A and B are shown apart, each in its own frame.
Chain A
């Protein structure tokens, strides 16, 4: 959406944030279904599409939506699966917050310009 007017970077950040949000939904779904028999773990991939698009110079708005895929075989319903998901969860939160921080820093010059250079 509107962040495109200051370059392509915010668009890529937005895409990554959307991908991480979807990944969180996948982790939450896996945790909620940890004890459901025959549940196939869901995962989200978007980093490859993002890297390819950045290399090729594609506009962020032309990127394909992050893909949700399911594991081929149902995993055993065991606590070990939940632990793996919790680790992924923490990593996801850190990445999301780091991206937000990066976006904030990126927008700081605009804020400076809007306030006429006054802090």
Chain B
């Protein structure tokens, strides 16, 4: 088997899940960010993944039919902000409401767990490829 091509598929999957994890971690860190450089509350990040382009990984034996994954885009969710009544807050508007990001801790935790599980699955695929390639090296050696 072409180990480096198959390893490239699995490692691309791991990179994508790593990015997904980073995005959720960033969202959780900014749960109370009511003011950003662009003005307004922090907008939550969402990673959108898709199949990798044929030029990114060379799959000579499959002709590009078995792609790895890549990050297609990192979108900012445009959900309406959470309004909390805090009249003394520096970012409060005229009616005393502060706009906090619409980041739900439960949703982000679920995203983190999903990303970690997917990362582990890609790692399992990589280890399986390694085991198969190593076993192939033993042909004729133990006879």
A25: interface (CB < 8 Å): yes
A96: interface (CB < 8 Å): yes
B49: interface (CB < 8 Å): yes
Interface size class of A (residues with CB under 8 A): 35 or more
> In chain B between 95 and 143, which residues have their CB closer than 8 angstroms to a CB of chain A?
114-115, 117-118, 121-122, 124-126, 128-129, 131-132, 135-136, 138-140, 142-143
Cα distance A36–B114 in the bound complex, in angstroms: 13
A82: interface (CB < 8 Å): yes
> In chain B between 28 and 49, which residues have their CB closer than 8 angstroms to a CB of chain A?
48-49
What 1/0 mask marks residues of chain A from 96 to 117 whose CB sits below 8 Å from any chain B CB?
1100100110011001000000
Chain B nearest Cβ from A52, distance in angstroms: 22
Interchain CB contact under 8 A, A22 and B125: no
Question: Residues of B contacting A29 with CB < 8 Å?
Answer: 9, 51, 66-68
Interchain CB contact under 8 A, B142 and A104: yes
Cα distance A82–B13 in the bound complex, in angstroms: 12
Question: Residues of A contacting B72 with CB < 8 Å?
Answer: 36
Interchain CB contact under 8 A, B124 and A86: yes
A53: interface (CB < 8 Å): no
Residues of B within 8 A of A (CB): 1-2, 5-6, 9-10, 12-13, 16-17, 20, 48-51, 59, 61-62, 65-69, 72, 114-115, 117-118, 121-122, 124-126, 128-129, 131-132, 135-136, 138-140, 142-143
